[in-house]
Amino acid sequence: MQPAFRTIRRFYFILSLAMIVIAPTSQAVQSPFDTLIEKIMMEYPALQGNIQSDIINGQTVFFADTKEAGSLLVSEFIVKTLQDNYQKGQSSVLGLATGSTPLIVYKNLVTAFQNGALSTQNLTTFNLDEYLGLAANHPASYAFFMYQNLFQYLDISDERIHIPSAPPKKTDESIAEYQQLLGQTQRDIQLLGLGKNGHIAFNEPGSPATSRTRLVKLDESTRIANSRYFESPEQVPEHAITMGIADILESKINIIMAWGEGKAEAVKRAITGPISSDCPASFLQQHNKTIWFIDQKAGKML
């Protein structure tokens, strides 16, 4: 990159950061969120040339040159939020997603834990969703994914890990129990990925804003997209249990990530499109602390 261009870019980065600091979603006062992001940016000079920010349609959007840079900002945000709570003697509640999108974030959280930068003793987690009919030891189940990529490395007991499940003949009870536990706590941060069809969690197009944890039928497009984790497309379950849109909107902060060109259209619809069940992620426009972390490719239609 030309030095002059780099300088201009840095100027715009600082300017846009200042805009977030000054006017995050129309608030005049700097919020703890802005202070934290600013602090992380200052701590990691490598992020400064690689991340730009903007406010689009009232939502804060961070554009990262790479998913590694975007994931670093997200994981540092999580680590600092959790550590802050820990130092104050408070507990933390994290909402977690699965799929390819949060993988680098989880890797970074494991590293932070192993380096002593993150304590998980006071942490409780709630996962977004799970396939119906897959046992926790099935390699494509989300319970297995979470154990493989995160939980096995952390100091967190099973009682503090919550993943929706639906044991045969006990589906309703299990969903009710999950919903009750979720309602008793407030998540500090909910992590989200974005489906190409605009879904968040397994809230497929058509999901209402008032939806709660429930059994859903998966879109064919979702089954096809996720068939990469199964031996054949027919093995992808037809149903799943998912947190609802209303549940997601109850988190204090929603962090939604999207990497790659394949997500560009969904990102555009979610951020700038009408708020509608046709694109469930558009309901995040109603949440005053939704933060988007996307790479340039996913943001190319904005």
The residue among 80 and 187 lying less far from ligand F6R, judged by its C-beta, is 187
Going residue by residue from 6 to 45, which x/- string records binding to ligand F6R, judged by CB under 6 A? ----------------------------------------
129 catalytic per annotation: yes
Of the residues 204, 247, 250, 295, only one is catalytic, namely: 204
Which one-letter amino acid corresponds to residue 170? K
CB 261 within 8 A of CB 300: yes
Shortest distance (Å) from residue 256 CB to ligand F6R: 9
Paired tokens of 271 = 């951020």
- Is 248 a residue that touches ligand F6R (CB under 6 A)? no
Rounded Cα distance between 52 and 47, Å, is 9
Is 88 exposed, middle or buried (CB count within 10 Å of its CB: 0-12, 13-18, 19+)? exposed
Among 73, 118, 123, 128, binds ligand F6R (CB under 6 A): 128
CB 47 within 8 A of CB 72: yes
Cα R_g (the chain), whole angstroms: 19
Paired tokens of 273 = 């499109």
In this chain, which stretch among 3-11, 154-162, 199-207, 276-284 interacts with ligand F6R, using CB under 6 A? 199-207
Instruction: Give 203's DSSP letter.
Output: B
The residue among 16 and 101 lying less far from ligand F6R, judged by its C-beta, is 101
The residue among 34 and 250 lying less far from ligand F6R, judged by its C-beta, is 250
Among 16, 50, 53, 98, binds ligand F6R (CB under 6 A): 98
In this chain, which stretch among 5-13, 15-23, 193-201, 286-294 interacts with ligand F6R, using CB under 6 A? 193-201
- Is 95 a residue that touches ligand F6R (CB under 6 A)? no
Q: Can you name the residues that pair with 203 across neighbouring β-strands?
A: 200
Element (H, E) at 29: none
In this chain, which stretch among 95-103, 116-124, 164-172, 286-294 interacts with ligand F6R, using CB under 6 A? 95-103
197 catalytic per annotation: yes
CB 186 within 8 A of CB 217: no
Q: Where are the alpha helices (DSSP H) in 103-232?
A: 103-114, 142-149, 171-184, 220-226
What are the catalytic residues? 129, 197, 199, 204
Residues that bind ligand F6R (CB under 6 A): 97-101, 128-129, 142, 193-195, 199-201
